[in-house]
């Protein structure tokens, strides 16, 4: 159960190269009230460099991450209308382990190739959203087939719910209403992720029901400059907020000693 939104970040006024823009990804994590609390994001070493992601303390994976190349991944559980039976308990693997395995992809094409080669039959249904400055990749696995769609970088919203993905379509309609009403700014994006209908808390963006609620919001900002990529992640859980960054990263950058944050 999650809500993920993406908005482009326009170039700074007077920028020499209008293509040197960026994006902002935000995700609400909705979880059972009795699930162990997540751990804030930190820098992780990957085979190709570094990445930021928070940790699911119960399963050891994550629901969102960003690499030093500026690739962000966010995963949502999925409950399609005709949901097949999940893998057998002895075979099932946590969906949160997918992002750490794919986050160091060098290009969108490599990400797709690696995802298509993944042993997906061990995972329950999911949506996996990948974004960088070139566009958005929306992939979905329904336990039978993997579907992948690529779009240009632009405002986008994805939502799921353990009650059934069709139940949270009002979140998508709300996002479209806001997008048509005014250009989506970081402030409006944050407001959207805090939105709750008084009479429909169970399907709200910031949801709450007897057994589950929105436990955290994570925001990734990636800003491309002429010679670097500035990457930051803000993690908010309850009244606690943590900010961390991969500052001045070059594509494929690997630091030889120590962590730079």
- Domain assignment present for 105: yes
The verdict on residue 257 lying in a domain is no
Tally the domains of the chain.
1
Q: Does pLDDT of 211 surpass 80?
A: yes
Contact between residue 131 and residue 150 where contact means Cβ atoms under 8 Å apart: no
Is 256 inside any structural domain? Answer: no
Within a domain: 73: yes
Does a structural domain hold residue 88? yes
Check if the beta carbon of residue 137 is closer than 8 Å to that of residue 108.
yes
Domain of 108 in residue numbering reads as 2-249
Indicate if the pLDDT at residue 18 is higher than 70. Answer: no
Higher pLDDT, 36 or 55: 55
Strand partners, 2: 29, 160
Which is more confident, 193 or 11? 193
The residues, ordered by sequence, that sit 6+ positions from 136 with a Cβ below 8 Å of its Cβ are: 6, 129, 130, 150, 151, 152, 153, 154, 156
Query: Does residue 26 fall inside a structural domain?
Result: yes
pTM of the predicted structure, to 2 decimals: 0.90
Which CATH number characterizes residue 177's domain?
3.60.60.10
What is the band of 19 on the pLDDT scale with cuts at 50, 70, 90?
low
The chain-wide mean pLDDT, for the chain, equals 88
pLDDT over 90 (residue 10)? no
Nearest to 244 by CA among 73, 48, 39: 39
């Amino acid at each position: 159960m999650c809500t993920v939104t993406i908005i482009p970040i326009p170039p700074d006024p007077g920028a020499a190269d209008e293509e040197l823009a960026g994006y902002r990804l935000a995700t609400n994590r909705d979880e059972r009230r009795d699930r162990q609390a997540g751990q804030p994001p930190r820098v992780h070493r990957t085979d190709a460099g570094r990445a930021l992601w928070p940790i699911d303390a119960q399963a050891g994976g994550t629901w969102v991450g960003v690499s030093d190349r500026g690739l962000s991944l966010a995963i949502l559980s999925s409950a399609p209308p005709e949901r097949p039976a999940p893998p057998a308990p002895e075979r099932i693997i946590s969906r949160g382990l997918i992002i750490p395995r794919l986050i160091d992809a060098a290009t969108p094409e490599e990400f797709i190739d690696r995802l298509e080669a993944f042993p997906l039959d061990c995972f329950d249904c999911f949506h996996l959203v990948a974004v960088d400055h070139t566009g958005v990749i929306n992939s979905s696995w329904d336990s039978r087939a993997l579907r992948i769609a690529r779009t240009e970088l632009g405002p986008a919203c994805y939502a799921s719910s353990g009650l059934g993905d069709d139940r949270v379509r009002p979140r998508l309609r709300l996002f479209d209403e806001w997008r048509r009403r005014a250009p989506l700014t970081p402030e409006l994006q944050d407001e959207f992720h805090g939105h709750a209908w008084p009479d429909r808390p169970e399907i709200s963006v910031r949801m709450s029901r007897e057994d589950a609620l929105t436990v955290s919001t994570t925001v990734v900002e990636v800003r491309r400059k002429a010679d670097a990529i500035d990457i930051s992640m803000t993690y908010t859980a309850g009244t606690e907020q943590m900010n961390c960054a991969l500052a001045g990263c070059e594509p494929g950058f690997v630091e030889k000693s120590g962590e730079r944050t």
